[in-house]
Chain A
Amino acid sequence: MISKLFLFILFFCNFSSASNGNNENNYIAIIMFILFVTVTLFITYLASKKSSTADGFYTAGGNITGLQNGLAISGDFMSAASFLGISGLVYLTGFDGLIYSIGFLIGWPIILLLIAEPLRNLGKYSFADVVSFRLSQRPIRILAACGSLSTVILYLIAQMVGAGKLIEILFGLPYYSAVMIVGGLMILYVTFGGMLATTWVQIIKAILLLFGATTIAILVLFQFNFDINLFFNEATNIHKKGVSILSPGGLISDPISAVSLGLALMFGTAGLPHILMRFFTVSDANQARKSVAYATGFIGYFYLLTFIIGFGAIILISNNPSYLDGSNTLIGGNNMAAIHLAHAVGGDILLGFISAVAFATILAVVSGLTLAGASAISHDLYANAFFKGKQTEKSEMFVSKIATIFLGVLSIYLGIIFQDQNVAFMVGLAFAIAASANFPLLLLSIYWKKLTTKGAVVGGSLGLLSAITFVILGPVVWVDILGNTTPIFPYKYPALFSMSITFLIIWIISSLDKSKQGVSEIKSFDAQYFRSQTGIGIDTKISH
Chain B
Amino acid sequence: MVNKNYNKKLKALIALRLKIVRPLLCITILPYFCFIGVIAFKPEKFSPLIFNTHISLGIFLGLLLILLIFFITIRYVYLANKYIEPQINAIKNDI
**Size of the chain A interface, CB-CB below 8 angstroms:** 54
Q: How far is the CB of A62 from chain B (nearest CB, A)?
A: 19
Q: How far is the CA of A292 from the CA of B74 in the complex (A)?
A: 10
Q: How far is the CA of A254 from the CA of B40 in the complex (A)?
A: 6
* A113 / chain B contacts, CB cutoff of 8 Å: 21, 24-25, 28, 72, 76
Q: Mark A207-236, 1 if CB is under 8 A from B, else 0.
A: 000000000000000000000111011001
> Are B69's CB and A106's CB within 8 A?
yes
> Are A290's CB and B77's CB within 8 A?
yes
Interface residues of B in 43-83 (CB under 8 A from A): 43-44, 46-47, 49, 53-56, 58-59, 62-63, 65-66, 69-70, 72-74, 76-77, 80-81
- Given known A-B contacts A95-B62, A259-B36, A286-B85, A106 and B28 have beta carbons under 8 A apart: yes
* A247 / chain B contacts, CB cutoff of 8 Å: 43-44, 46-47, 56, 58
* A230 / chain B contacts, CB cutoff of 8 Å: 54
**Size of the chain B interface, CB-CB below 8 angstroms:** 50
Q: How far is the CB of B53 from chain A (nearest CB, A)?
A: 5
Interface of A, helix, strand, loop or mixed by DSSP = helix
> Are A536's CB and B25's CB within 8 A?
no
Q: How far is the CA of A108 from the CA of B63 in the complex (A)?
A: 16
Q: Mark B7-51, 1 if CB is under 8 A from A, else 0.
A: 000100110010001001100110011011111110110110100
Q: How many A-B residue pairs have CB under 8 A?
A: 150
> Are B66's CB and A534's CB within 8 A?
no
* B53 / chain A contacts, CB cutoff of 8 Å: 229, 232
Q: How far is the CA of A20 from the CA of B43 in the complex (A)?
A: 46
- Given known A-B contacts A109-B24, A304-B66, A229 and B73 have beta carbons under 8 A apart: no
> Are B2's CB and A236's CB within 8 A?
no
> Are A536's CB and B47's CB within 8 A?
no
**Residue of B24, B25, B66 ringed by the most chain A CB atoms within 10 A:** B66
> Are A534's CB and B24's CB within 8 A?
no
Q: How far is the CA of A230 from the CA of B17 in the complex (A)?
A: 45
* B47 / chain A contacts, CB cutoff of 8 Å: 243-244, 246-247
* A531 / chain B contacts, CB cutoff of 8 Å: 1
> Are B43's CB and A533's CB within 8 A?
no
* A387 / chain B contacts, CB cutoff of 8 Å: none
A10: Cβ under 8 A from any B Cβ: no
* A243 / chain B contacts, CB cutoff of 8 Å: 47, 49, 56
Q: How far is the CA of A363 from the CA of B91 in the complex (A)?
A: 43
Q: Mark A294-324, 1 if CB is under 8 A from B, else 0.
A: 0011001001100100000000000000000
Q: How far is the CA of A304 from the CA of B49 in the complex (A)?
A: 20
> Are B2's CB and A289's CB within 8 A?
no
Q: How far is the CB of B47 from chain A (nearest CB, A)?
A: 4
* A261 / chain B contacts, CB cutoff of 8 Å: 36
Q: How far is the CB of A140 from chain B (nearest CB, A)?
A: 22
> Are B28's CB and A109's CB within 8 A?
yes
Interface residues of A in 65-84 (CB under 8 A from B): none
> Are B39's CB and A252's CB within 8 A?
yes
> Are A303's CB and B39's CB within 8 A?
no
Q: How far is the CB of B83 from chain A (nearest CB, A)?
A: 13
Q: How far is the CA of A272 from the CA of B24 in the complex (A)?
A: 22
> Are B17's CB and A533's CB within 8 A?
yes
Q: Which of B28, B43, B55, B77 contacts A229 (CB 8 A)?
A: B55
> Are A262's CB and B32's CB within 8 A?
yes
> Are A297's CB and B32's CB within 8 A?
no
Q: Which of A110, A255, A257, A536 contacts B95 (CB 8 A)?
A: A536
Q: How far is the CA of A290 from the CA of B78 in the complex (A)?
A: 10
* A229 / chain B contacts, CB cutoff of 8 Å: 53-55
> Are B40's CB and A530's CB within 8 A?
no
Q: List the B residue with the shortest CB-CB distance to A292.
A: B73
- Given known A-B contacts A95-B59, A246-B59, A300 and B2 have beta carbons under 8 A apart: no
Pick the 4 closest A-B CB pairs, nearest first.
Answer: A258-B40, A246-B56, A248-B43, A247-B47
Contacts A230-B54, A247-B43, A293-B74 known; 4 new A-B pairs at CB < 8 A: A102-B65, A109-B72, A254-B40, A531-B1
8 CB-based A-B contacts, threshold 8 Å? A101-B66, A109-B76, A112-B72, A229-B55, A252-B40, A289-B77, A297-B73, A536-B95
